[in-house]
Structure 1
């Protein structure tokens, strides 16, 4: 995996505002948007876009096409990555946030690294200057605010400015710790979700439940459960909860059950599981599905952490893929089916059951497999839809 060291600079402001951070080159632009919002300090309450200019002066624009009312040919940011915009040190692009205030950020690629072992691949290394307040009028408005907050400012105007930004606002203050703590916690910026992404409060509630003493030690984790329900949602055979819940409680199939402290607790947990499953079914049932594997909704400080999360998700997916013996045998014995399954098999540790793979797969290859999972998921969805009806 290639790791990009980039410097992000807010253009036009009097006091320097910039950040230096490491980001995987494979990050999709919508994920990069979330990272930039968090590391800069914005609230993700406005539209945005990425702008790249080629050597001939032509520009390409990347963003969310459904919100674009121009004829510029806006490209879908979910189909491109950071590595598609810049590849060599010194190359740059613009990130524009809030089309009213027009906050323009210049993103410059400073170096390209290979991630190895514990090296952090999403991290803020340095920076300077506080993020301007949202909706303050862009660079002119922020300049006025700073003048009002200065010692020579008019007292009445200063009172208005303080009301806008708060008494303790320090335009020169920035600390990488806030961003890095969020990365360590594994959570994306809370406002980086649209209405079709998972309810993260529900995810955290499920996570707490799965990690509680109620669940058997052989039960699923929240990442495994997400992968499991994903597989069931695209599976050619429909299953009632009574058919799949035993695997949630005990992945070994030996019949361990939760130890409920009350009937109310049992009903609450069942409600959480079914509500989450209904959400995944809805996302994957659309003609143009919006589902994304849950492990991609978290930030990780190291490649190893990300890989461990992807592996857990694939273990759950494979439990769902194998739930019906006839479909499973038909899939793994079909050339197209086996090809689509390969990343799931490799990361779940099941590849050795089908072939002699020799020594353990190197980490770089596993990371490549992890990056293939989402595409392979759509291939599995298509295969089961066409070949196993």
Structure 2
């Protein structure tokens, strides 16, 4: 096909099929450098005749400059490290519009500069990536096919930007998951006279559930469960701040309300506007005594002889009000008692039709007369049975403590 002829009928279908195949290949690539290089190689090979591609180049943004970092085809011998003049009119137009196709006769075209990078007639370019981080330029043979070039490159630019954004989101979620996994204990502690079980199941979109157990002087044990608002890396980083602050506090005198108030100030300084953390913090004594503070968290349930008590005393969520004051309360776990801590991902787990798991169903599981590990296993099994194939939209975390 002569690249200068009009694109009509069957020619359009052929071009469209080739474009679909090319974009499918591009979507398989897994990093920026390979993605951009793969795009150039794919398009140069598949559209040499239809669009007249002769060569291609990739420029990387460095500060305010764009630097040539690789070339293909007719641009293979272009000088690597070449910086595009900041005031070059086609370059300014590209950054403003995202795509440019320009022939020798158009104002601002510099034949000498273009020849130095392998362009003999028409050139085309697209700006891609966050903040136009890269430019992909093409050397095009002949003229008269600007519409086809614009159509093809607009579609390619859209797919590249989508893929790069998707890759960035995947990286952030992987970072968030790594942060979250590093914070969680490898196993629940051995605490004489008690059975303790804990589990956290991350949603596909990582939330901010974390828990920890920290030994204190006198054989006491800190039990903490927190849930930072939102999802992804910001939520995971907030949760990390909570656990880091808690572990530092455990190295000195540990007074529950002072620790919570200190964490509240810490989260206020660290959190973005509108972000917050809920937390239940307790100190368990070897004789069953429990000193606790609930900072806006789902109230843990103390189960005794078939009756329930919600542990609500404490105060507001952590973060929004740096001067907030908190209260503490005391309970005693007697032999046979069970204490269940959980995040909202448990009771708000959605099932078919949008119904929620709810606290009533949680209470039925807790009355099963099992040990801590058995109760936890039964809870997660019941959550799965309830939800069916509905994917979770939040982390699901629970701690079960039973006095022997």
TM-score of the two chains, using structure 1 as the length reference? 0.24
Which structure dedicates a bigger proportion of its chain to strand?
2
TM-score of the two chains, using structure 2 as the length reference? 0.23
Which structure dedicates a bigger proportion of its chain to helix?
1
Who wins on radius of gyration, i.e. which is larger?
2
Structure of greater relative contact order (alpha carbons < 8 Å, 6+ residues apart): 1
